[in-house]
């Protein structure tokens, strides 16, 4: 799975939300730093080249749709982050968030309960 740029990732979130969209539909969903129509079209075609997006042609117009699910992308993204930033250690990742106070003791207990129930 190839790494996406921030703008490509933003476009993917829009396509996951809309499920099917023309370039103009995607453009309407972008709130900040709107690219030019042609730039957005290029970004979407790059996503297609990377295997993230497919299209249905209607004459000269294309309707785009995600080929990769948000869940599959999330798994790949998280696995890559854990490998690159936490030396493949989920313990290191969780302790990082605990030290940063991004996860509470109650949330950790909930996670432990989920782990215990899956055994």
User: Is residue 1 pLDDT above 80, yes or no?
Assistant: no
Specify the pTM: 0.82
Dihedral Cα 106, 90, 80, 74, nearest 10 deg = -30
* Encoded tokens for 104: 């509470």
Contact partners, residue 93, CB within 8 Å, separation at least 6: 82, 85, 86
Q: What is the pLDDT of residues 10-54, one digit of tens each?
A: 999 999 999 999 999 999 999 888 999 999 999 999 999 999 999
Secondary structure (3-state) at 94: helix
Integer Cα distance of 98 and 96 in angstroms: 5
Q: What is the pLDDT of residues 50-106, one digit of tens each?
A: 999 999 999 999 999 999 999 999 999 999 999 999 999 999 999 999 999 999 999
Contact partners, residue 44, CB within 8 Å, separation at least 6: 11, 23, 26, 53, 64
């Amino acid at each position: 799975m190839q790494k996406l740029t921030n703008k490509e990732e933003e476009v993917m979130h829009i396509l996951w939300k809309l499920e099917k969209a023309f370039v103009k539909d995607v453009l309407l969903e972008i709130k900040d730093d709107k690219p030019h129509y042609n730039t957005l079209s290029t970004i979407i075609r790059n996503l297609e080249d990377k295997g993230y997006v497919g299209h249905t042609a209607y004459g000269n117009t294309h309707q785009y749709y995600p080929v990769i699910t948000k869940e599959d992308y999330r798994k790949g993204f998280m696995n890559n982050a854990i490998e690159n930033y936490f030396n493949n250690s989920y313990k290191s990742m969780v302790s990082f968030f605990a030290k940063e106070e991004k996860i509470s003791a109650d949330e950790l207990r909930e996670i432990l309960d989920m782990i215990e129930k899956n055994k």
